[in-house]
């Protein structure tokens, strides 16, 4: 799954890479959590445009904006079949830019957080779907991130990961005229595994209240939130 990510891309680089102007309030974020507004890129009649969507896709039958059925992730293997996701996947697709995402490695003790990113420092574009829901005169545009089986190199951290689209697939995924699930499934071309790297980070990222640059840095013994090693025997 994908439940946390970071985006600290500057506005100029965003415009150059994604081919549209970013939202005016774009600012570096190092610990983005569900239910907040996240940046997304969609394709319209006049080209690409970027805006904000609430992370947590509301189902088509939602009666309130805080419906408990909202989903932050959708499995790419079944997204065109499940009633919660099907209409959004066929009609409203997006790219969700990120500098990287977090996953937690479960073990015998506390889970260890890792930051997973492109090894060359370039941003990633996670495949997303979105839906506009109306509650009286109020509308909510919500979204979910598609996931897939993790690359073998990171299955030791988590068995699922977001679909990080190869740039050659962006246009096909965004094309609003395409509604054939077979064509769209083929458009879900992930980045080559060789481009992906991961490193352990501070457990300070566990708290949604923390949002600072050191959360994405490789952990060392002096990193805030690092585990304190046990004292070895003297004799």
Give the catalytic positions in this structure: 2, 103
| DSSP 8-state class, residue 190 | B
Q: Which of 118, 78, 88 is nearest to 101 (CA)?
A: 118
Instruction: Round to whole Å and give the CA distance between 34 and 50.
Output: 19
Q: Which of 88, 85, 67 is nearest to 75 (CA)?
A: 85
Q: Which of 160, 153, 148, 167 is nearest to 197 (CA)?
A: 153
Q: Which of 55, 81, 88 is nearest to 70 (CA)?
A: 55
Q: Long-range contacts: 189-194, Cβ < 8 Å, 24+? A: 189/165, 190/148, 190/163, 190/164, 190/165, 190/166, 191/118, 191/124, 191/164, 191/165, 191/166, 192/166, 193/151, 193/152, 193/153, 194/119
| DSSP 8-state class, residue 214 | G
Q: Which of 73, 193, 228, 214 is nearest to 144 (CA)?
A: 73
Q: Which residues does 77 contact at the CB level (< 8 Å), separation at least 6?
A: 148
């Amino acid at each position: 799954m994908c439940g946390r990510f970071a985006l600290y891309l500057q506005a100029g680089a965003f415009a150059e890479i994604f081919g549209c102007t970013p939202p005016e309030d774009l600012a570096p974020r190092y610990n983005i959590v569900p239910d907040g507004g996240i940046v997304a890129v969609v394709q319209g009649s006049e080209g690409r445009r970027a805006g904000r969507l609430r992370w947590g896709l509301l189902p088509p039958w939602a009666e309130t904006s805080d419906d408990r059925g909202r989903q932050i992730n959708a499995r790419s293997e079944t997204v065109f079949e499940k009633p919660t996701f099907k209409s959004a996947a066929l009609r409203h697709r997006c790219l969700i830019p990120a500098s990287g995402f977090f996953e937690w490695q479960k073990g015998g003790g506390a889970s260890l957080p890792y930051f997973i990113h492109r090894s060359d420092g370039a941003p990633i574009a996670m495949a997303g779907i979105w839906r506009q829901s109306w509650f009286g005169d109020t509308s909510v545009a919500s979204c979910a991130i598609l996931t897939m089986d993790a690359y073998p190199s990171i299955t030791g951290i988590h068995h699922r990961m977001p679909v990080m689209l190869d740039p050659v697939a962006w246009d096909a995924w965004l094309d609003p005229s395409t509604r054939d699930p077979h064509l769209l499934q083929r458009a879900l071309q992930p980045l080559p595994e060789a481009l992906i790297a991961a490193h352990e980070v501070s457990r300070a990222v566990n708290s949604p209240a923390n949002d600072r640059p050191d959360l994405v840095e490789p952990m060392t013994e002096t990193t805030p939130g690092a585990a304190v090693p046990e004292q070895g025997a003297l004799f």
